[in-house]
Homo-oligomer: A and B are copies of this chain.
Amino acid sequence: MKVHLTRRYMIAASHRLHNDKLSAADNREMYGKCNNPYGHGHNYAVEVTVGGELNQQTGMVCNLAELDECVRREVLERFDHQNLNTRPEFAEQVPTTENFAVVIYDILKREFRGTHLEKIRIEETANNSFEYCGPAKLP
């Protein structure tokens, strides 16, 4: 019996969408007001979904304390109350929420061994969300 668990964490962070390799005009056209020079911010809701066989003895699919500790140490400490543009993870790529989802997925895929990581979903605002389930398998 396979069960999925989704856990929600909040990250208050700022970012500016800007690609140094493009002209100012192209950046403005591409990113609109998200290209404002001093940045802006969001309360990102990050949902981590893990899945696996239900442990018959514990009745649980994942040790929640271990997941929380891993997310706190590897994700919240890096990004909460930070400016994403100043982080090394975004030195070579624009801190869009799409890229943010991939970055968090890759971190947790590497660091959290307890249960299979299924998906990262980020709500950027109440009307916008993004999901990443890892690299697609080859057919």
Chain A residues with CB under 8 Å of chain B are 1-10, 12-15, 17, 19, 21-22, 30, 32-34, 36, 38-43, 54, 56-61, 64-65, 80-83, 85-86, 93-96, 98-99, 101-102, 125-133, 135-136
Contact = CB atoms under 8 A, between A and B. Distances in A.
Given A2-B136, A41-B39, A126 B8 contact: yes
State the majority secondary structure of interface residues on A. Answer: mixed
Contacts of A19: 57-59
Contacts of A85: 38
A125 to B, nearest CB: 5
Given A14-B14, A43-B43, A43-B126, 4 more contacts: A2-B132, A3-B102, A8-B127, A19-B57
Contacts of A133: 2
B40 A14 contact: yes
26 contacts: A1-B102, A1-B132, A1-B135, A2-B133, A3-B130, A5-B128, A6-B128, A6-B131, A8-B126, A10-B126, A12-B40, A12-B41, A13-B41, A17-B59, A19-B57, A30-B58, A36-B81, A40-B41, A40-B80, A41-B42, A43-B43, A54-B99, A58-B94, A58-B96, A59-B95, A59-B99
